[in-house]
Structure 1
């Protein structure tokens, strides 16, 4: 698996699984009817922020991550990131590779920590992955996310020092 900078040419490969994940409404606090153009604008970040794709040997996009400063100004020393793995390629450690990549990017870029602001507590695979990579739950916003089948569930704020 290769992780490389995403380009506008990757968007047609990202959009189908991006749309599927967002429309499911289970893991991202994005509008479930998010359109393609706005989704692209939200996901494909420009420098100094970054968006990458994980691809296999054939060049198939397996997943993607975006990484950025969590806040502006005096909070800009803390990084954040978001991840999407094509469900057709789940279980192949794509999410782990992307997460490890973003942690190393943040460290190399001089960030002091990394924070995830809205990890849906029912997204057990993501929570387990982030914990295994040194993130801890700092707190949970009770009923901060309206899950389509589980109802109102908590949103974890997860953090790790770099």
Structure 2
């Protein structure tokens, strides 16, 4: 598997991963009814440096890297990660997170923060913890999950 910057030719495969994940409404605090242009505007936004994890011409996952805040908080990175449904459980998210940590350090970020990790997304929480992220805050009932209703979200943080 190779992780590289996203290219224009990757857009259809990125859309095929990101659109259904956002529409499911289970992991990202964003509208679930975005059209393709809205999905791409979100994922490929001007502040996002976007990467893909690719194997044999097939994109297995994608992530973006950005500053979590501006001004005095611009030294802390933020990322969003998505793995194709056919590639889940195969180490793609772990590889993308490791890559993002290296890339963030290269860009001069001093830490990484995830603002809204849905508490019942236990695979993601465990993965981020295994990579050194700590839960530094709990946002009580901050996420309205389409199946489980209002659930907690975590703020997770790692110094680089």
Which TM-score band applies after superposition, normalised by the shorter structure? over 0.9
Map of 2:38 onto structure 1: 38
Moved more, 5-14 or 131-140: 5-14
CA contact (8 A) 1:6 1:44 kept: no
Kindly provide the CA deviation profile for residues 77-107 of structure 1, in whole angstroms up to 9, marking residues without a partner as x: 0001000000111111000000001011111
Are 1:54 and 2:53 counterparts? yes
Map of 1:23 onto structure 2: 23
Unaligned runs of 5+ in 2: none
Map of 2:159 onto structure 1: 161
Q: Secondary structure at the match of 2:117?
A: strand
CA contact (8 A) 1:136 1:158 kept: yes
Q: Distance in 2 between the 1:33 and 1:19 partners?
A: 9
User: Once superposed, what is the RMSD of the aligned Cα atoms?
Assistant: 1.1
Are 1:134 and 2:132 counterparts? yes
Map of 1:146 onto structure 2: 144
Map of 1:123 onto structure 2: 121
CA contact (8 A) 1:3 1:54 kept: yes
Q: Distance in 2 between the 1:151 and 1:21 partners?
A: 18
Runs of 4+ with >2 A deviation: none
Q: Secondary structure at the match of 2:132?
A: coil
Map of 1:71 onto structure 2: 69
Map of 1:91 onto structure 2: 89
Per-residue deviation at 1:67? 0.3
User: TM-score, with normalisation over the residues of structure 2?
Assistant: 0.96
Per-residue deviation at 1:17? 2.1
